[in-house]
Structure 1
Amino acid sequence: MQLKPQDFLVALKLVAWGDQRWTYARLAQELGISVSEAHACVKRGLQAGLLVDTALLAPPPEASPGVQELVAVYRVQARPRRAKAAMATNADNPARVHSRNLAEFAVHGAKYAFPADKLPVSVGVPTSHSAPAFAGVFAPGSEDWVWPHPNGTVRGPGVEPLHPSVPFAAMQDAKLYEMLALFDALRVGRARERGMALKRLPMLIYPEGPRPAERPMYG
């Protein structure tokens, strides 16, 4: 099993949704991918430990009087084949993010697994430090990175998005957009942008986690 860029995209989308209930159909629609690909992404995310199967998180049934059961044991009841088929299409909230693992992967592994390809100057959707979420954070004059896109509004050096559907997906969800832009800052940003991303991205994914140490930024 090898992770694909869209698997990371799906995991970030689930972060953006938080505790919302979701279905594969909705996930596919908002990311601009097929339902079958959404299924495959979640499956690989579960195998990699970036996601957790919510069925395994359900508390065990209460024991009947006089019957002792181990609290740590979780039982999965067999379902009829028809029920399983229905769940495969309409499963509600079938997985959630393993926040600690995903935050670690986002800042220490993803930029190596999914390196950025720099593209010629073009019109597109701003990313990295140029994204709307970071307006006013950096002084004017910084180079604007963009995802080339016909509906873009900014001209600058292009960077290949994590997945072709990224510009569409980002424009539907401000929090997802922010995380994708921070990831691009790790991939193509200068030292100060990378420093910001190393601090901010894991906090968005894993708010309860340890705060990253402050690092001097150069460049």
Structure 2
Amino acid sequence: MQLKPQDFLVALKLVAWGEQRWTYARLAQELGLSVSEAHACIKRGLQAGLLLPNRESSPDAAAASDGALGVQEPMGIYRVTRKRVRRAAEPEREVGADNVVRPHAHNLAEFALHGAKYAFPAEKLPLAVGVPTSHSAPAFAGVFAPGSTDFVWPHPNGSVRGVGVEPLHPSVPFAAMQDAKLYEMLALFDALRVGKARERSMALERLRALIDPDASPSPKGGALG
């Protein structure tokens, strides 16, 4: 199993939603993914330890629920076919009533802060108009003096011209514009990938607080000056 960028994106989206009830259809729509791809992301996130099943029994229960939701369609072609056809007809109510997984806050924070930038390295692109990211994003508004180089995800609906940064996934600019908290986390993650030392230090603390608010503060906290 190889973790994909969209798996990390899905995990961050679940952090952004918090305790909200969600459906695979809504998850796919807001991230610009297909429903089947959203299912696959959840499955890989569980296997990687970035997500936890919401059912008490075991991670296998979440995998079983994937089958019940149509991820593994060959399972149960006989025996309960009628029930599953009904669920497929009303996915919003069935899935939203019981979220299958939740973020594993500690593991996801560790990966986001110390591993993801190596698993999904940034690629700088030519100057372009796009959606601001890294220290240029709203998450950093008023923190850094104007005049520094802007970074953007190239996008036709963008409003800022700057150095292009290949987004974590092609759907990131769209997904970020749908959800301010997700946007903040994605921009902070880019600061870890392309920012200078002070920007990275700030991003570490803020991203940790967003993903795992119950974690002990870093001993390096407050070193932004």
Give me the TM-score of the superposition, normalised by structure 1.
Answer: 0.85
Q: Which amino acid aligns with 2:43?
A: K
Query: How far is 1:11 from its partner?
Result: 0.2
Q: Is residue 27 of structure 1 aligned with residue 27 of structure 2?
A: yes
Give unpaired runs (5+ residues) of structure 2: 59-63, 69-78
Q: Which amino acid aligns with 1:167?
A: P
C-alpha separation between the residues in 2 aligned to 1:84 and 1:50?
28
3-state SS of paired residue (2:44): helix
3-state SS of paired residue (2:198): helix
Q: Which has the larger radius of gyration?
A: 1
3-state SS of paired residue (1:146): strand
Q: Is residue 55 of structure 1 aligned with residue 73 of structure 2?
A: no
Q: Is residue 81 of structure 1 aligned with residue 87 of structure 2?
A: no
The C-alpha deviation readout for 1:46-97, integer Å capped at 9, x for no partner, is 0011001112369xxxxxxxxxxxxxxxxx99x8634466379552311111
Name the residue aligned to 2:75: none
1:1-219 equivalent positions in 2, closer than 5 A = 1-56=1-56, 81-82=80-81, 83=83, 86=87, 89=91, 90-92=94-96, 93-214=99-220, 216=223
Distance 1:84 1:97, change over 3 A: farther
Query: How far is 1:148 from its partner?
Result: 0.2
Matched-pair identity in %: 72
Name the residue aligned to 1:69: none
Does the aligned pair in 2 maintain the 1:23–1:94 contact within 8 Å? no
Give RMSD over aligned pairs. Answer: 2.3
3-state SS of paired residue (1:13): helix
Give unpaired runs (5+ residues) of structure 1: 59-75
The C-alpha deviation readout for 1:177-209, integer Å capped at 9, x for no partner, is 000000000000001110001111011000001
Count matched residues. Answer: 200
The C-alpha deviation readout for 1:90-140, integer Å capped at 9, x for no partner, is 523111111011001100100000000110000000000100121101011
3-state SS of paired residue (1:91): helix
3-state SS of paired residue (2:56): helix
